[in-house]
Amino acid sequence: WYKRQSLWTLSVSSQSANKKISNSEIKIGELISKHDWSITDGDTIKSGNLRIRLYGIDAPEKDQLCFQESTNHSCGRESTEHLGSLVSGQKVRCKVEDIDSYGRPVAICYTEDNEDINEKMVASGWALEYKQFSDGRYAKAEENARSAGIGIWQSTCFIKPWIWRRGDRCEE
């Protein structure tokens, strides 16, 4: 993949509804700064026609269940809600690292306080490091969340999202 040396900011305010940005307009290396994000799931944010996949992490799918002893809980919904709590009311900056096979920008996103949202999702236990894409960037955050037994790591049965998408499920 080609990486551009210089970064430029594509900034669209929520008041300029006539300025729509689509995934096809975004290039690797660009910095996207917006305030009006909505949450698709625990590793994807959206603003208008623009969808951004969070770089280096994979979160439970929206309808994915986790099990703790004999009860289940919607870890996919909980992951989605946690990402929502991190971006709600924030002007979020995303640096595009790659374009995925679906044409979506894949980015590291930051809060107004310059905190890595992707890392916060892994550190909270609501996402996993996606090792084949992350270059080990979030390994320590995942190790700490697992050791603390938080988020998905409190479950007695949890299927990693990339395996769950293939059809594997916990037995009740």
Catalytic residues: 53, 61, 104
Rounded distance between C-alpha atoms, residue 27 and residue 42, angstroms: 23
Rounded distance between C-alpha atoms, residue 162 and residue 170, angstroms: 14
Rounded distance between C-alpha atoms, residue 5 and residue 24, angstroms: 20
Contacts of 14 (CB under 8 A, 6+ apart): 34, 35, 36
CB atoms within 10 A of CB 120: 21
The DSSP element (H or E) to which 128 belongs, if any, is strand 128-129
Q: What is the β-pairing status of strands 50-54 and 105-110?
A: parallel
Q: What is the β-pairing status of strands 57-58 and 105-110?
A: unpaired
